[in-house]
Amino acid sequence: MTVWNGESALATRSAALEQLDRFCPRAGLEYHKCRNYDYGRNDNSKVSGLSPYIRIGLLNEAECARAALSKHSERQCRKFLEELFWRVYWKGYLENHRAIWNQYRRDLNLVLRDDSLARGIATAESGRTGIDCFDSWVKELVETGYLHNHARMWFASIWIFTLKLPWQAGAHFFLSHLLDGDVASNTLSWRWVAGLHTKGKTYLARRSNIAKYTENRFAPTQLASTAVALTEDPIQTLSPRIQAAPIEIVRPLKYGFIFTDDDASIPDFGENRPQTALALFPENRYASAGASQRVVDFRRSSMDATVGRLENLGISTVLVCQNHANAIVDWISDHQLETILCPQPYVGYWNDEWAEIEASIASSGSKLRLFRRWWEADLFPHAQKGFFSFKKRLPAIWERIQSPLTAGLSY
């Protein structure tokens, strides 16, 4: 079941694996040749359909790469593998430049309070610009929670260079509606289009390109003819964060497990499973951020699915939707937990709240042990500059992914 066909999306592990199984035969040369074509909302057969599941952790990059490599040679599916690891690059880059997220949040608050911008933003977000492709994409995004990646680039370019609207508001609109909305990929992609990520290099939506890759469904004539890169004041440099170790290194003897809607996966606990687990879902944050009900339902269902999977493993699990810090204190006390194991939160909304959560854990006398996926631990330190230097590291990762030693590792 695809997740953008207007029906209720299934955020379950089984649905994710079914989509992966359907896509893998097409992950080779067919994907390479056809991935840039947007055939419209009723035909997404040439793209993977995996990004919403990867976003919430019901699939991960390593198992998707491993599945593709089981059907195709590395040469045949290299384009899919590279596209898959763009997400890892974006997340690693924002980890290394996390002040970008802080600045975006500050600028967005100013933009959304600016009355002189309100009318233009409202017109764009309601799909009343008169640019037929753009207005159609607005409708598709709002009604399905999805846009083809090429359409996202065109959309962002039109928003910034034709409509002359702040990129921060466009990025916010995407995060509010995309089922696969990811803080790093979304924020940095919008900055790339605007000429802020690769300084001075912009992306200009062109009539000929849109006509070609939509097979003449659209051929807009109102587009900007130039795209002058945006500029900004230097962004504050923050000291690097302590990088968490892969889970095979972090294995406490007796512990509780915490996870959030940023990553609803279940790590490979081995034989030493946690006593109990706590699932944190930020219901109030979604409401205050203006997230669509479709996004909220999809993320919540992913949490429910993982809670059910943990219960099936015999791990009692509690889902908490608000007052997380207080709930953590009570949970630790109830189970007399000395150690808490948790995936290191990515830069984004949870990272904003993590100091309070860490303080709650410390006040309970417990020790917090953070971990992350092994390929992220390997690759994040190299996501300092552009993708093309980063991707030189990828063949070694793909080789390791196929090794029997890592075949069962989800982290």
Whether 82 is in a domain gets the answer yes
pLDDT of residue 10: 74
One domain, residues 293 and 349: yes
pLDDT at position 410, please? 60
**Along the 411 residues of the chain, how does pLDDT read in single tens digits?**
344 444 456 799 999 999 999 999 999 999 999 999 999 998 888 999 999 999 999 999 999 999 999 999 999 999 999 999 999 999 999 999 999 999 999 999 999 999 999 999 999 999 999 999 999 999 999 999 999 999 999 999 999 999 999 999 999 999 999 999 999 999 999 999 999 999 999 999 999 999 999 999 999 999 999 999 999 999 988 877 767 878 776 667 789 999 999 999 999 888 889 999 999 999 888 988 899 999 999 999 999 999 999 999 999 999 999 889 899 999 999 999 999 999 999 999 887 788 899 999 999 999 999 999 999 999 999 999 999 999 999 999 999 999 876 655 566
Residue 131 within a domain: yes
Amino acid type, 315: I
Name the residue among 136, 143, 134, 214 with its Cα closest to residue 170: 134
CATH number at residue 327: 3.40.50.620
Tracing tokens 């793209």 back to the chain, one arrives at 47
Residue 235 lies in a domain: no
Residue 236 lies in a domain: no
Residues 34 and 106 in one domain: no
Q: Which of 162, 192, 213 is the last residue in one of the domains? A: 213
User: 330 in a domain, yes or no?
Assistant: yes
- Do 108 and 183 share a structural domain? yes
CA distances from 265 to 112, 209, 305, 352 (A): 34, 38, 10, 21
Rounded (5°) CA angle 23-59-322: 140
Q: What is the CATH number of the domain that holds 387?
A: 1.25.40.80
Q: Say yes or no: 252 and 369 in one domain.
A: yes
Q: Are 49 and 122 found together in one domain?
A: no
Neighbour-count burial for 259-282, b at 16+ CB within 10 Å, e otherwise: bbbbbbbbbebeeeebebbbbbbb
Q: What is the CATH number of the domain that holds 118?
A: 1.10.579.10
272 and 345 assigned to the same domain: yes
* pTM of the predicted structure, to 2 decimals: 0.95
The enclosing H or E element of 256 equals: strand 256-260
- For the chain, how many structural domains are there in total? 3
* 37 and 125 housed in the same domain: no
228 lies in some domain: no
Residue 66: both structure tokens together: 């491993």
Domain-embedded: residue 140 = yes
Q: Within 10 A of 221 (CB to CB), how many other CB atoms are there?
A: 7
User: Is 186 part of any domain?
Assistant: yes
Residues 207 and 319 in one domain: no
Q: What are phi and psi of 370, to 5 degrees?
A: -95, 145
Whether residues 267 and 357 share a domain: the answer is: yes
Q: Are 73 and 129 found together in one domain?
A: no
Q: Based on the domain organization, do 355 and 393 belong to the same domain?
A: no
Quick one: 109 and 54 in the same domain? no
Cα 280 to Cα 296: distance, rounded to the nearest angstrom = 13
Structural domain including 334 reads: 245-375
Q: Count Cα atoms within 13 angstroms, Cβ side, for 6.
A: 6
Residue finishing a domain among 164, 197, 213: 213
Do 341 and 248 touch, CB atoms closer than 8 A? Answer: no
